[in-house]
Structure 1
Amino acid sequence: MQSKTIKRYSAAALFFLLVSGISCKKVLDLEPHNSTFTQAYFQTGQDANTAIAGAYALLRNVLMNHYSWHVYGDLPSGEYAVDGGLDAFNSPICNGQFTGLNVGPREWNWQNYYQLIQQINLVINKVPGVPLSTFANPDLKTQIVGEAFFLRAYTYFYMSRIWGDVPLKLQPDLDVSQALNIPRTPAATVLAQCLADCDSAANRLVFGYTDQTMAVVRANKGSVLALKAHIQAWKKDYASCEKTANEVIVNGGYSLVDSAHYSDVFVGRSTEGIFEVNINYGQSEGVALNNDDGSGDGGYLPTLAQPFIAGQTRVNWPINNEYVGMIFTDPADIRYNLYFYNDQQTIKYSNISYADGSAKNDPRLSNNLNIFRLPDIMLLRAEALQKLGREADAIPLLNAVKERAGIADYSGPGGDDLAKEILEERLRELFFEGQAYYDLLRTGQLLNYNKSFNPDQYQHGGWLWPIDPSMFKDDFTLVQTPYWRGKL
């Protein structure tokens, strides 16, 4: 049976490729172009650059849509106590309730991810055939293909941590009339492909940037290796993770921002940034923050109110003070005042501009979304070293991050105590950066930090999300995530 869903992916991706650049626009559901049109489009280096820019734009759309980066990566960790009266959609997720009256298809449906995958696969398939003479920089052709392999690895890794088994599609639908449904691929196979794509990307990319306008917001070799280290840690291949993370630290050219300028990290493009999603108002990439009505739209607005957002009197996503109090125990920690306001608002991402100037009725967020940065990789390597029994090598990495935060070096015992300290340093440093839930899952510590998460659900695989039953309508190859079968 042909897939109407995949036809829709292909049409949206091709349209986005032609019109979007790297700005964030709504993807339209148009009738699909045929393979002749697709072949005719990929003719020049400019076509190739526009195509990869379209892929970054689709990634931005995926991660920002309904706050999904934070809904998946932060809310189930216990970081927030979302006000159900103001945001009934996301409040249950804080307790690990992935189904129910208000949680539904927008969290379960992966269709927009396959719009992104289609775009990436087009780049991988078509750009190698574009004449090298049409590129302004002869290295750019190889770079673009490398970036596409990185984006595919990142997208599938991201999806697999949410849903586990996902359909693994490695070729574009050049003629959507021939598109076929693909069953869910085992997570182990997906992750193996992610690692293979990382190797393909790393072989085509270099550390640093020749064109500084691409710095941090376009992938380079450091971005690829940071991703690879995360995949290896997720697979609990700590020996490989340690080596990969060390290569990023030693060869990437990154450095910790000093304590006095720490807030600059969250504006973006700092010396410790490894890969970020561009959200810069000065480059017409700011995210519009509408007065939120609880519908789940509007950038990071749920965590912010006055005095950071003019006229916004409520905080839909207040911090969970029990959780925060459990991990922020040192009053000297500079991060507490830089991250939080009035023990309620999260203000890491509060660089706000107003499109209508002094009237302040149209707020725009202008903070890049941090995907990977140096302290993340330092602490990931420390975690790997501790697991490998090399604790004397792990502690200096841990202490470097603690010292930047103004808190005392670790002087406790090794073993479980050191493992807990490394984890909690990650939870502190990377608060509200889409990492906490995955860190707690990887280390097996979720129930110790989110005490509202149902233990039976966690122990039987319910930490993975269900998929939208409506996707079964046109795709009889799909099966529900095991824990959620018969529960939707």
Structure 2
Amino acid sequence: MKKTVKNFPALLLLLIFSTGCSNNFLSENNKSAITQENYFTTAAQAQAAVAGIYPMLQSFTKEIEYRGDAPWSLLEMPVGHIDLGGSQYKDGSIKHTNSANETVYNIIWTDFYNGIANSNLAIQRIPAINMNEATKKRLLGEVYFLRALYYSYLVKLYGDIPLITEPINFSSPDLYPERSSKEKVYELIINDLKEAEKSGLPNVDETGRASLGAVKSLLSGVYLTMAGYPLNKGTEFYQLAATKAKEVLDGNYYKLFDNYAYLHDRAHKNKQELIFQVQYLGSVKTNRITEFISPKGISKLTSDLGTVVPIKEFVSSYELNDKRTQEKQFYFTESFAKGSSSKIIKFTPSLYKFWLEEAAGQNGDGYSDQNWTLLRLPEVMLIYAEALNEVEGPANAYTQINMIRQRANLAPLSGLTKDEFREAVWRERYHELAFENKAYFDIQRTHKVYNLKTGRFEDAFSYSNESGVKFNEQYLLWPVPQSEIDTNPKLLPQNIGW
């Protein structure tokens, strides 16, 4: 059986849950003696099953073939704001010349469908367990949120995808599924998030689990996405996005940090403006984010990869005196040389936003346990501003964007037209949410790219960016992994251009 399952694609796996501590959802400890039939019988097993749905989110930072690439970094490269050089695949991502066989396209597909499979089994089995009803309801709320989160990335990345809502075994009709329309996938996402909203989740959770604030924040972003390309739902969905974002803001669940360093230190994980993060802990599960962004020659790391280095033009596109561009805010340009506590070396602006000194400094071991942020308060604030502007114009939409600008020591905006305000919000998204995997999806839904020289937004498919690349319409979606199509031809046709 193990040999058979090993060679099956993601959708065909029989998922087995963790039996580790129910409070630890950083890593899984699968044991083959557990089956779907004998596992879901106790409250402790329900807790462990839900904990086992979270770890697949760590795929965002999973290194690909020891070359310094990971899904999170490769989501940034087609945008065109990262320096060329590093791996062949990195350059291919920036230039839009990769093939459908690249490992990264398979990682997210496989791992996120595994997360969905675990979710489906939990949704089916947990209701029958004899346990505290409020706890049961809350656990199911977490599961619905996570399934919606996994599907929200899959549908944005791959378009029409298999919509699996029941556990699969070797006799299931969905063993070799067809692709469902994006509309049906989004319908499930919305329904799941509405189920999670009424499940009794806490408003805020500082342990890394799902919360009501995270549910509402994700739902506001889903509505905003649906309002734009490719579904073009328009005004109705902008209104839904604004309403849901306002619920988060009016609830006072979160507040902005007064120090940008708190975005990437250990003490502030899961706190204040950090709505939902992928969890890491030094002795349990780590990542190599610090190595990916490390300029050459400054850290003790033997593999200071420098994979994700912003182009200078992007850092220069911020307004004059923007605090985020000051040294060791979002970026840095100097540090101690490797092995020295006195010699300073300088380099082109590099990402400090994700830097963890404990991982790369004189006493670091190279492994980072900083969390990876998926949802942050400024994104919700900007969703509200953008969506409200689309519905009724900018008159009542300034407050949230100006709070973000105030923290960056910038003057408040005022007196803009609807079109000017729209671009102001988009520009703020590029600057505040820089390198947080938002820009690629913004290009998908707006079909606009940021002209770094003028500060304006251009047609994505006709403008040549600073790397000399026009956004290829093919890259609006990732390809369905070729290995999946080889096993299941029902996944054809492949996405356009791949």
Shared fold (TM-score, shorter chain, > 0.5): yes
In the TM superposition, residue 57 of structure 1 has moved relative to its aligned partner by 1.2
TM-superposition CA deviations, 1:48-75 (whole Å, max 9, x none): 1111111111222355454544245322
Distance 1:303 1:354 in 2: 12
1:129 alignment partner in structure 2: 128
Partner residue of 2:80 out of 55, 78, 81:
78
In the TM superposition, residue 359 of structure 1 has moved relative to its aligned partner by 6.2
Describe the SS at the equivalent of 1:197: helix
1:279 alignment partner in structure 2: 280
- Does structure 2 retain, via aligned residues, the 8 Å contact 1:216–1:275? no
Partner residue of 1:148 out of 133, 143, 157:
143
2:308 alignment partner in structure 1: 317
In the TM superposition, residue 265 of structure 1 has moved relative to its aligned partner by 2.3
TM-superposition CA deviations, 1:222-244 (whole Å, max 9, x none): 11111111110011110100000
Greater relative contact order: 1 or 2 (C-alpha under 8 angstroms, separation 6 or more)?
A: 1
Describe the SS at the equivalent of 2:398: helix
Distance 2:349 2:325 in 1: 14
Partner residue of 1:302 out of 289, 292, 302:
292
2:482 alignment partner in structure 1: 469
> Number of matched residues?
446
* Match runs of 1:443-454 below 5 Å: 443-446=446-449, 447=460, 450=465
State the AA in 2 paired with 1:457.
N
State the AA in 2 paired with 1:427.
Y
Distance 1:145 1:54 in 2: 13
The answer to whether structure 1 residue 270 and structure 2 residue 261 are counterparts is: no
State the AA in 2 paired with 1:277.
V
Q: Give the 3 Å change call, closer, same or farther, for CA 105–262 of structure 1 in structure 2.
A: closer
1:426 alignment partner in structure 2: 429
In the TM superposition, residue 456 of structure 1 has moved relative to its aligned partner by 7.5
In the TM superposition, residue 309 of structure 1 has moved relative to its aligned partner by 5.1
State the AA in 2 paired with 1:61.
S
Describe the SS at the equivalent of 1:341: strand
Q: Which has the higher helix share?
A: 1
Structure 1 runs (4+) deviating above 6 angstroms are none
- Does structure 2 retain, via aligned residues, the 8 Å contact 1:379–1:426? yes
State the AA in 1 paired with 2:323.
D
The answer to whether structure 1 residue 59 and structure 2 residue 57 are counterparts is: yes
- Does structure 2 retain, via aligned residues, the 8 Å contact 1:266–1:370? no
Distance 2:467 2:359 in 1: 38
Partner residue of 1:372 out of 372, 375, 381:
375
In the TM superposition, residue 145 of structure 1 has moved relative to its aligned partner by 0.5
Partner residue of 1:176 out of 138, 160, 170:
170
Distance 1:304 1:408 in 2: 32
2:226 alignment partner in structure 1: 235
Q: Give the 3 Å change call, closer, same or farther, for CA 411–308 of structure 1 in structure 2.
A: farther
Partner residue of 2:320 out of 320, 330, 343:
330
Distance 1:313 1:6 in 2: 34
In the TM superposition, residue 273 of structure 1 has moved relative to its aligned partner by 1.5
State the AA in 1 paired with 2:206.
A
1:225 alignment partner in structure 2: 216
Q: Give the 3 Å change call, closer, same or farther, for CA 359–240 of structure 1 in structure 2.
A: closer
State the AA in 2 paired with 1:161.
K
Describe the SS at the equivalent of 2:209: coil
Distance 1:449 1:340 in 2: 25
Describe the SS at the equivalent of 2:112: helix
2:452 alignment partner in structure 1: none
TM-superposition CA deviations, 1:246-305 (whole Å, max 9, x none): 0011115211111xx221123322211111111232xx345244xxxxxxxxx4422114
- Does structure 1 retain, via aligned residues, the 8 Å contact 2:219–2:244? yes
Distance 2:477 2:88 in 1: 21
TM-superposition CA deviations, 1:307-345 (whole Å, max 9, x none): 45544555233211223323x122242354311122332
1:435 alignment partner in structure 2: 438
Distance 1:449 1:339 in 2: 26
Q: Give the 3 Å change call, closer, same or farther, for CA 177–345 of structure 1 in structure 2.
A: same
Unaligned runs of 5+ in 1: 290-298
Q: Give the 3 Å change call, closer, same or farther, for CA 437–87 of structure 1 in structure 2.
A: same
Q: Give the 3 Å change call, closer, same or farther, for CA 140–72 of structure 1 in structure 2.
A: farther
Distance 2:281 2:412 in 1: 36
